[in-house]
């Protein structure tokens, strides 16, 4: 065994021969970093390093270290007030503030007896913490069987991270008479234990196993117990099945005293070219409805590279057995939240096949809705897309020349289910082509962006014109229109150094003016498939269309003016605070509408006033007020606090 010792006295270095006097004398350097794992065959060959204020002993028999004693061999460090090491049996006895670091796993206690290489022994009144999971606890005694196995007596175990507060307690903890820890299999087993939550015992556990790393492990998960007026007493017991590194399943049988038994299964898979998950729910002979109940959700995503281009296939299928499913079950398939309170009655199933090659993108999309109807609150069925064919052209090469260009074409078959027993006369085909081009001019202190858009739509309804006229639908069986839009966006950015609340900032002043013009085209004779009114906010007030979707393009002749000031961090340009206002002035009355909205009128709109503050890296607050200057009333106000994100001023 090779030894190296360090004490207060500096060791004398023997003289070197004449031919190697140019070489530096070898020096022993301590290191605070250890290798996490060392090959077993190298352990017997590793030297031991000792350090203490006082070192005594007999050569090849024993050594006594006192005062800041430390023994280090390979990936193991032992520190204590006093350490006795017996060379013949490779045994350490340590007393007082004993600390062990073995491959990053930390043990601390009062007294230790340990065979170092075999790593066998006992540690009294100890605490422990594992490097891989930060799992930790305390014990009356830790029995080391070898480097990978140990038994912890009268012990606790948790993975909740400890903070510095004196009142800290873990969210959960296992308290057991005995815990065996197998780090080779990364499994711990607690015997005679109790599961505690926030310091309160909630469940006795005769025996339970748990992982010691982030490695998945098959086994029982915590059960769910509940009582309600619909299901009665309910007990569900999930079982996690670790099928393979890239596949797993959670199987959850449940018993409901008033309804019967049910089975939920969630299967997940991950492959190099595809992944997905399948969630199945089945309840045979539900006593509540006197029928079988079922639901499923299947999400799948495939991406392939071929000589002909990139291919993609996705689907998201969601279906349930009946209209009352959302009432009777706490969640829908694929939903981790409690859908009983989210009123999720519109279930979408969709799929997309896509291809990309060169500058071209083509996709074929289909979507079908299941509406869970309530006789007392009927929902108009949304339009299914059966199917939708899209084409777009990648215009990245235009961007390199300073242009922003978009090209897109779309044709979609829209079909809705019957409504009050009558066929939906709005079913039909919509095709459109969309072109947009803009040329931003960036100036040292501002920008100017002229743009032009052109959209051409064509509609062909399934019903005959006679059928449409018979019910005064107002629709034309065939209708086409093309509508151009011109706009000019401009703004200036002024900056100055300032300070507030003892901190330095860069303050900006950003006036902005936006003009847009779209001529009037009558669009009232075509249905509304995917169009709605946009929310009036700081994003939409600088847009050229008042509607989302492609069925209505508002006739606009208006100017929007606004002013924003920001406080920026001078070090990284992150936005600390923001305050702004904006107002729109219409030069003409708007004539296009959805039929249920109020078109804009000539003159000034309501004033938008809004701002935000990033209080810290974690939290920010945004607020907005819509003020009507004619009535001198606040039309609307809103505010929200969110996890903060860095925002930057224009041009940064």
- Is the pLDDT score of 452 beyond 70? yes
Find the mean pLDDT for residues 44-58. Answer: 80
User: Given this model, what pLDDT does residue 336 score?
Assistant: 61
Span 104-117, average pLDDT: 88
Given a cut of 50, whether residue 12 has pLDDT beyond it is no
pLDDT surpasses 50 at 126: yes
User: Which of residues 596 and 202 earns the better pLDDT score?
Assistant: 596
pLDDT of residue 378: 86
Q: For residues 48 and 2, give the distance between their C-alpha atoms in angstroms, rounded to a whole number.
A: 6
DSSP, residue by residue, 440-501? -EEETTEEEEEEEEEEEEEEEESS-HHHHHHTT----SEEEEEEEEEEEEEEE-EEEEEEET
Task: Please tell me the distance from the alpha carbon of residue 329 to that of residue 230, in angstroms, as a whole number.
Answer: 9
Res. 530: pLDDT tops 60: yes
What integer pLDDT is reported at residue 313 of this predicted model?
97
Position 148 scores a pLDDT of 84
470, 518 in Cβ contact below 8 A? Answer: no
Assess contact for 489 and 451: CB atoms under 8 A. Answer: yes
Q: What is the per-residue pLDDT for 331?
A: 85
Write the burial class of residue 407 (CB in 10 Å: 0-12 exposed, 13-18 middle, 19+ buried): middle
Mean pLDDT on 192-214: 80
Confidence band, pLDDT 50/70/90 cuts, at residue 580: very high
For range 601-614, the mean pLDDT: 93
The whole-number pLDDT of residue 594 equals 92
- Secondary structure class of 569 (helix, strand, coil): coil
Task: Quote the pLDDT of residue 343.
Answer: 55
The mean pLDDT value for 274-278 works out to 96
What is the structure's pLDDT at 134?
Answer: 79
Which segments of 257-398 are extended strands (E)? 260-270, 274-286, 291-306, 309-320, 346-357, 360-371, 384-393
pLDDT at 470: 84
pLDDT for residue 221:
78
pLDDT for 651 equals: 35
Q: Minimum mean pLDDT among 34-48, 242-256, 339-353, 422-436: which range?
A: 34-48
Closest CA to 494 of 485, 507, 483: 507
Q: What is the reported pLDDT for 650?
A: 34
Kindly tell me if the per-residue pLDDT of 18 is higher than 70.
Answer: no
Task: Indicate the average pLDDT of the chain.
Answer: 85
pLDDT at residue number 389: 98
Q: Which pLDDT belongs to residue 90?
A: 85
CA nearest to 48, candidates 32, 65, 70 = 70
pLDDT category at 19 given cuts 50, 70, 90 is very low
Bigger pLDDT: 488 vs 642 = 488
Rounded Cα distance between 285 and 288, Å, is 9
* CB distance 225 to 235 below 8 Å: yes
145-159, 426-440, 522-536: least confidently modelled range: 145-159
Model confidence pLDDT, tens digit, residues 375-413: 888 888 899 999 999 999 988 778 778 889 999 999 999
Determine which of 86-95, 409-418, 563-572, 628-637 has the lowest per-residue pLDDT on average: 628-637
Integer Cα distance of 545 and 622 in angstroms: 25
pLDDT at 344: 82
Asked if 638 contacts 626 with a C-beta cutoff of 8 angstroms, the reply is: no
The per-residue pLDDT for 39 is: 58
**For residue 22, pLDDT beyond 80:** no
pLDDT at 129: 86
Percent of the chain past pLDDT 70, that is, above it, reads 89
pLDDT at residue 338 is higher than 50:
no
Over its C-alpha atoms, the chain yields an Rg (Å, rounded) of: 36
Q: What pLDDT score was predicted for residue 469?
A: 87
pLDDT of residue 9: 32
Q: Are 409 and 433 in contact (CB under 8 A)?
A: yes
Predicted pLDDT of residue 38: 57
**CA 149 centroid distance within chain:** 36
Query: CB–CB of 430/390 below 8 Å?
Result: no
Q: Determine phi and psi for 352, rounding to 5 degrees.
A: -140, 130
Greater confidence, 103 or 458? 458
Residue 430 or residue 8, greater confidence? 430
Q: Is the pLDDT of residue 534 over 60?
A: yes
pLDDT surpasses 70 at 423: yes
**Of the candidate ranges 170-184, 359-373, 388-402, 417-431, the one whose mean pLDDT is the lowest:** 417-431
Q: How confident is the model at residue 422 (pLDDT cuts 50, 70, 90)?
A: low
Average pLDDT (421-442) is 90
Most confident listed range (48-57, 155-164, 192-201, 496-505): 496-505
Over range 42-62, report the average pLDDT.
78
What's the pTM value of the predicted model, to 2 decimals? 0.72
Average pLDDT over residues 298-305: 95
Top-ranked range on mean pLDDT: pick from 40-54, 330-344, 397-411, 434-448: 434-448
């Amino acid at each position: 065994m090779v030894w190296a010792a360090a004490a207060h006295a500096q060791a004398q270095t023997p003289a070197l021969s004449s031919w190697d006097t140019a070489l530096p004398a070898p020096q022993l350097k301590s290191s605070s970093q250890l290798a996490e794992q060392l090959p077993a065959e190298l352990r017997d060959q590793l030297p031991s390093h000792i350090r203490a204020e006082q070192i005594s002993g007999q050569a090849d028999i024993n050594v006594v270290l006192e005062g800041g004693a430390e023994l280090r061999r390979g990936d193991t460090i032992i520190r204590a007030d006093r350490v006795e090491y017996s060379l013949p049996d490779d045994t350490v006895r340590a007393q007082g503030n004993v600390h062990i670091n073995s491959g990053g796993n930390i043990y601390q206690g009062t007294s230790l007896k340990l065979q170092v290489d075999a790593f066998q022994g006992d540690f009294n009144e100890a605490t422990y913490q594992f490097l891989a999971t930060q799992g930790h606890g305390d014990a009356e005694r830790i029995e080391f069987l070898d480097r990978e196995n140990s038994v912890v007596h009268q012990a606790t175990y948790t993975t909740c991270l400890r903070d510095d507060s004196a009142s800290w307690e873990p969210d959960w903890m296992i308290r057991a008479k005995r815990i065996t820890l197998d780090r080779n299999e990364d499994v711990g087993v607690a015997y005679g234990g109790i599961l505690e939550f926030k310091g309160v015992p909630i469940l006795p556990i005769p025996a339970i196993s748990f992982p010691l790393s982030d490695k998945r492990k098959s086994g029982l998960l915590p059960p769910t117990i509940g009582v309600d007026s619909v299901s009665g007493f309910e007990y569900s017991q999930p079982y996690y099945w670790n099928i393979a590194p890239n596949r797993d399943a959670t199987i959850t049988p449940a018993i409901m005293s008033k309804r019967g038994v049910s089975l939920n299964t969630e299967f997940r898979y991950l492959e190099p070219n595809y992944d997905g998950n399948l969630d199945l729910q089945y309840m045979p002979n539900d006593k509540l409805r006197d029928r079988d109940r079922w639901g499923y959700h299947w999400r799948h995503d495939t991406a392939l590279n071929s000589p002909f281009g990139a291919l993609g296939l996705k689907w998201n299928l969601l279906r349930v057995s009946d209209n009352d499913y959302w009432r009777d079950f706490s969640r829908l398939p694929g939903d981790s939240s409690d859908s009983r309170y989210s009123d999720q009655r519109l279930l979408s199933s969709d799929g997309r096949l896509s291809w990309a090659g060169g500058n071209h993108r083509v996709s074929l999309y289909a979507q079908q809705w299941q509406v869970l109807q309530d006789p007392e609150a009927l929902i108009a069925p949304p339009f299914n897309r059966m199917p939708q064919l899209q084409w777009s052209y990648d215009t990245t090469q235009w961007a390199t020349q300073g242009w922003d260009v978009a090209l897109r074409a779309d044709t979609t078959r829209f079909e809705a289910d019957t409504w009050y027993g009558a066929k939906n006369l709005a079913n039909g085909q919509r095709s459109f082509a969309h072109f947009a081009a803009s040329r931003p001019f960036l100036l040292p202190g501002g920008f100017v962006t002229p743009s032009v858009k052109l959209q051409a739509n064509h509609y062909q309804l399934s019903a005959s014109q006679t059928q449409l006229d018979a019910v005064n639908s107002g629709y034309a069986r065939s209708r086409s229109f093309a509508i151009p839009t011109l706009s000019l966006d401009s703004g200036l950015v002024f900056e100055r150094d300032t300070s507030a609340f003892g901190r330095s900032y860069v303050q900006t002043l950003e006036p902005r003016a936006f003009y847009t013009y779209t001529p009037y085209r009558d669009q009232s004779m075509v249905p509304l498939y995917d169009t709605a009114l946009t929310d009036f906010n700081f994003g939409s007030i600088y847009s050229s269309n008042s509607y989302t979707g492609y069925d209505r393009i508002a006739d606009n002749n208006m100017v929007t003016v606004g002013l924003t000031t920001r406080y920026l961090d001078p070090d990284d340009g992150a936005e600390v605070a923001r305050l702004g206002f904006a107002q729109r002035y219409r030069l003409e009355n708007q004539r296009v509408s959805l039929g249920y909205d109020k078109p804009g009128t000539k003159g000034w709109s309501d004033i938008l006033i809004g701002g935000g503050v990033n209080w810290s890296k974690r939290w920010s607050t945004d607020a907005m007020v819509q003020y009507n200057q004619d009535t001198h009333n606040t039309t609307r106000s809103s505010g929200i606090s969110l996890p903060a994100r860095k925002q930057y001023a224009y041009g940064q």
